[in-house]
């Protein structure tokens, strides 16, 4: 790893929460004292060996870390290029990488003496992970979820309810992740005294992008060690899907200062970038703006009104992206490419049939990117995908998309 | 020169708070919206807050959310909002106008162009909900340089330690948000607001206006005992919503808003009797 700290890409954010132009604290005054408190509490916890020890212990015994590094033999043979590996975050407790962040933040919420937790969710993976840690730590939990997403991800809605969470369907806008986040912010501004807002992605006002990244960085740190141990070198490329971008930043961060490792993020290309309002690729199809507490690439019209966007994957169906990704996009360290609904579905099917692993539709976007890259690489090279979540929640909507007979 | 100081001192001379009315620009459609705006001064509004509609109004309750949605659906843009102010100024040179909204449409428009267009249209001040003092370099400082007041929100969570930082670059007036919550919610204790206003007044010479949750003439009268201004918004947006016939506004919408504003104007005149 580079020892040149001044030119390191891993130094962000600055004291104002900026990653270059991006990030910041664009929130209403009512919330400002709260996020300053949160920042102080987080700095304090980071210094505390007990906090770290508790996270490590829970990661091992509750989440099941480290997650395995898996060589996808049949996919490798099929694609006929680089060796394809999966970092198996879908094997974590609750079925995705989201638990890494939720455990960190729930411990922080407890340290801060908060007695109520709220969260937003798209695919429901973060909602389930939040409901899970709230059950474990006995804290009441309200999850905001777009009405459209409640419908297309109902297995996760049931899981949240069984875990004791209250799920509030948000019918404003297109009823997706953006609207859920608006409603969560409205709740937070109303219940400032007792409520902890457990944001699920590496976005929102500072310190959330930094904090969520730190809690997710275990993915890349483990992966780096595992790969060095297995192959005696670093991988040639790492790939992850990017909605808000928490699994991606968690995967990428350990490799940012390793120039020999190419890094790719797969954005939701929906029906294709040429279809107006038909995708959720904020970096490839948007421009910088301010929403949900931070400056970042956003899908917006000429008047600065935020567009709804579209993706078959509820977890990627968000018109923005975490600010650190915007920074890495502008600095060209990471290549972000759009993957269409159709490409993601094809990758979903291929992975299921060839590896016996049903990927989340979100992760299938990353896999589609791997399918484009691996054949162009040589057999002595390696490419690693962060398999961020499992696809049990998606089998019904994929079946419907493919016109499979669901009744017989 | 901002019209705000003069208007506040004129109201103070009458020993009453200023009535600050919020309406959404272009609600329910650009023409009716303009007629509503035009009718406000005669109905008794001392200061006008004109909402710049935004797709994601995170600090607003249902009434103002829907007003913004109606305006956007009818084709309102920031450009059209500035044109409406310009047109209003041709008939009213004195009533202060404060634009209120969120940062992204301004950022997309371009900060410098926005400030110069707003200044020449006759805008006196800005309230931008998602720009706290920590982001002053974005718009607050440039606005002050352009001769436009930047009005800051202070809230029940703004403690004495933080208050000086919040007030530092505030001009025109201070907007005290009466509760933690979104617009149109319920004030828990109207009496407690008075204490909060007094607390802010110990830190600043600026007038203090109170908003969020003021719905009736009686609310306006009670809050107006201590406050230099009372801000009313959600009830006016609700009046517009209820005036629609088959989803369309018209003369009846203007009349509905006028009636509510007249009643509130009576309320502020009772405040210190």
Confidence of residue A408 (pLDDT cuts 50, 70, 90): low
What is the spatial distance between Cα A294 and Cα A26, in angstroms, rounded to a whole number?
A: 6
What are φ and ψ of residue A33, in 5° steps? -60, -30
The confidence score (pLDDT) of residue A247 equals: 98
Q: How large is the ipTM?
A: 0.96
How far is the C-alpha of B3 from the C-alpha of A64, rounded, in Å? 64
The pLDDT mean for chain A works out to 96
Q: Say whether B58 and A182 touch across the interface (CB within 8 A).
A: yes
What is the set of active-site residues of A?
98, 120, 388
**With a CB-CB cutoff of 8 Å, which residues 152-181 of chain A face chain B?**
172-173, 178
- Would residue B60 show up in a list of annotated catalytic residues for this protein? yes
- Of the candidates B175, B172, B178, B173, the one whose C-alpha atom is nearest the C-alpha of residue B219 is B178
pTM of model > 0.90:
yes
Please tell me which of the candidates B61, B72, B135 has its beta carbon nearest to residue A26: B135
**According to the model, what pLDDT value does residue B187 have?**
79
Angstrom distance (rounded) from CA A103 to CA A119? 13
Return the SS3 of B260: helix
CB–CB of A290 and B103 under 8 A? yes
B50 touches B23 (CB < 8 A): yes
Taking the CB of residue B119, how many other CB atoms lie within 10 A of it? 14
A129: left (phi over 0), alpha (psi -120 to 50) or beta: alpha
CA distance A11 to chain B (A): 21
φ/ψ of residue B29, rounded to 5:
-155, 165
What pLDDT shows up at residue A2?
45
Domain extents in chain B: 3-269
Single out the residue of B110, B169, B134 nearest to residue A14, CA to CA: B134
Write down the catalytic residue from B46, B49, B219, B228.
B49
Size of interface A-B (CB pairs under 8 A): 112
CA distance A268 to A366: 10
Would you say A363 and A71 are in contact if contact means Cβ atoms under 8 Å apart? no
Residues 260-319 of A with CB under 8 A from B: 289-293, 298, 300, 302-306
> In what side-by-side order are the strands of the sheet with A18-19?
A18-19, A22-26, A293-298, A287-291
Q: What is the mean pLDDT of residues B249-268?
A: 97
Interface of B with A in 138-157 (CB under 8 A): 152-157
Whether residue A18 lies within 8 A of chain B, CB to CB, comes out as: no
The closest of A202, A216, A220, A201 to A63, measured between CA atoms, is: A216
Q: Cβ contact (<8 Å) for B180 and A30?
A: yes
Residue A363's closest CA among A164, A80, A91, A103? A91
The tens digit of pLDDT for each residue in A43-83 reads: 999 999 999 999 999 999 999 999 999 999 999 999 999 99
Contacts of A406 (CB under 8 A, 6+ apart): A396, A399, A400
How far is it, in rounded angstroms, from Cα A269 to Cα A271? 6
Q: Could you report the per-residue pLDDT of B141-168, keeping only the tens digit for each? A: 999 999 999 999 999 999 899 999 999 9
Backbone angles phi, psi at A168, to 5 degrees: -105, 115
pLDDT-based confidence at residue A1 (cuts at 50, 70, 90) = very low
Q: Of all residues in chain B, what percent carry a pLDDT higher than 70?
A: 100
CATH placement of domain B3-269: 3.20.20.70
Contact A211, A53 (CB under 8 A): no
pLDDT at A3 over 60: no
Tokens in use for A150? 């409640």
The pLDDT value given to residue B1: 79
Contact B58 A29 (CB under 8 A): no
Could you read off the pLDDT of A146-179 as tens digits, one per residue? 999 998 888 999 999 999 999 999 998 788 899 9
| pLDDT above 90: percentage of residues in chain A | 91
DSSP label at B151?
P
Q: Are A391 and A359 in contact (CB under 8 A)?
A: yes
Mutate which of A144, A292, A303 to disrupt the B interface (most B C-beta within 10 Å)? Answer: A303
CB contact under 8 Å between B180 and A191, yes or no, is yes
User: Average model confidence (pLDDT) for chain B?
Assistant: 96
């Amino acid at each position: 790893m580079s020892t040149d700290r001044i030119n390191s890409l891993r130094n962000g954010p600055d004291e104002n929460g900026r990653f270059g132009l991006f990030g910041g604290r664009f929130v209403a005054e009512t919330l400002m004292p709260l996020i300053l408190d949160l920042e102080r509490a987080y700095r304090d916890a980071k210094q505390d060996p007990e906090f770290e020890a508790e996270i490590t212990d829970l990661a091992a015994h509750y989440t099941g870390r480290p997650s395995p590094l898996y060589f996808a033999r049949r996919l490798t043979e099929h694609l006929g290029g680089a060796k394809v590996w999966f970092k198996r975050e879908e094997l974590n407790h609750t079925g995705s990488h989201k638990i890494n962040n939720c455990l960190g933040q729930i411990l922080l919420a407890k340290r801060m003496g908060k007695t109520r937790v709220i969260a937003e969710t798209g695919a429901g993976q973060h909602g389930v992970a939040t409901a899970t840690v709230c059950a474990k730590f006995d804290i009441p939990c309200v999850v905001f979820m777009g009405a459209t997403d409640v419908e297309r991800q109902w297995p996760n809605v049931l899981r949240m309810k069984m875990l004791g969470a209250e799920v509030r369907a948000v019918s404003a806008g297109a009823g997706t992740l953006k609207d859920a986040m608006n409603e969560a912010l409205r709740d937070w501004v109303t219940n400032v005294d007792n409520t902890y807002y457990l944001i699920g992605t590496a976005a929102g006002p500072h310190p959330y992008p930094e904090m969520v990244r730190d809690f997710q960085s275990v993915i890349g740190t483990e992966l780096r060690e595992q790969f060095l141990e297995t192959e005696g070198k670093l991988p040639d490329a790492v790939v992850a899907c990017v909605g808000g971008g928490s699994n991606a930043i968690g995967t990428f961060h350990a490799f940012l200062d390793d120039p020999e490792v190419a890094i790719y993020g797969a954005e939701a290309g929906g029906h294709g970038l040429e279809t107006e309002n038909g995708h959720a690729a904020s970096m490839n199809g948007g421009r910088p703006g301010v929403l949900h507490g931070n400056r970042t690439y956003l899908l917006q019209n000429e008047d600065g009104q935020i567009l709804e966007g579209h993706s078959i994957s509820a977890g990627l169906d968000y018109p923005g992206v975490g600010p650190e990704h915007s920074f890495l996009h502008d600095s060209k360290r990471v290549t972000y490419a759009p993957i269409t609904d159709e490409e993601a579905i094809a990758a979903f099917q291929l992975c299921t049939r060839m590896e016996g692993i049903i990927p989340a539709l979100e992760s299938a976007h990353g896999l589609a990117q791997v399918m484009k890259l691996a054949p162009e690489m040589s057999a002595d090279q390696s490419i690693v995908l962060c398999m961020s979540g499992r696809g049990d929640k998606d089998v019904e909507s994929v079946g419907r998309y493919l016109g499979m007979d669901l009744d017989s | 020169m901002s019209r705000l100081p003069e208007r506040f001192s004129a109201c103070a001379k009458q020993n009453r708070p200023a009535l600050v009315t919020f309406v959404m620009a272009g609600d329910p459609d650009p023409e009716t919206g303009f007629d509503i705006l035009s009718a406000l001064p005669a109905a008794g509004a001392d200061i006008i807050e004109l909402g710049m509609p935004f797709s994601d109004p995170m600090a607003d309750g249902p009434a103002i959310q829907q007003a913004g949605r109606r305006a956007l659906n009818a084709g309102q843009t920031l450009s059209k909002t500035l044109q409406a102010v310009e047109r209003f100024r041709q008939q009213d040179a004195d009533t202060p106008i404060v634009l209120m909204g969120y940062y992204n449409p301004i950022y997309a428009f371009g900060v410098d162009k926005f400030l110069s267009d707003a200044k020449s249209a006759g805008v006196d001040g800005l309230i931008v909900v998602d720009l706290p003092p920590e982001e002053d370099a974005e718009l607050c400082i440039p606005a002050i340089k352009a001769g436009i007041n930047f009005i800051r929100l202070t809230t029940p969570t703004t403690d004495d330690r933080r208050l000086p930082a919040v007030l530092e670059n505030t001009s025109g007036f201070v907007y005290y948000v009466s509760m933690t919550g979104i617009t149109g919610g319920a004030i828990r204790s109207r009496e407690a607001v008075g204490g909060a206003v007094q607390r802010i007044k110990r830190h600043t010479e600026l007038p203090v206006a109170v908003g969020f949750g003021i719905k009736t003439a009686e609310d306006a009268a009670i809050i107006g005992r201590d406050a230099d201004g009372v801000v009313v918004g959600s009830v006016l947006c609700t009046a517009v919503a209820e005036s629609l016939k088959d989803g369309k506004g018209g003369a009846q919408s203007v009349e509905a808003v006028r009636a509510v504003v007249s009643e509130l104007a009576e309320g502020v005149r009772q405040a210190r009797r």
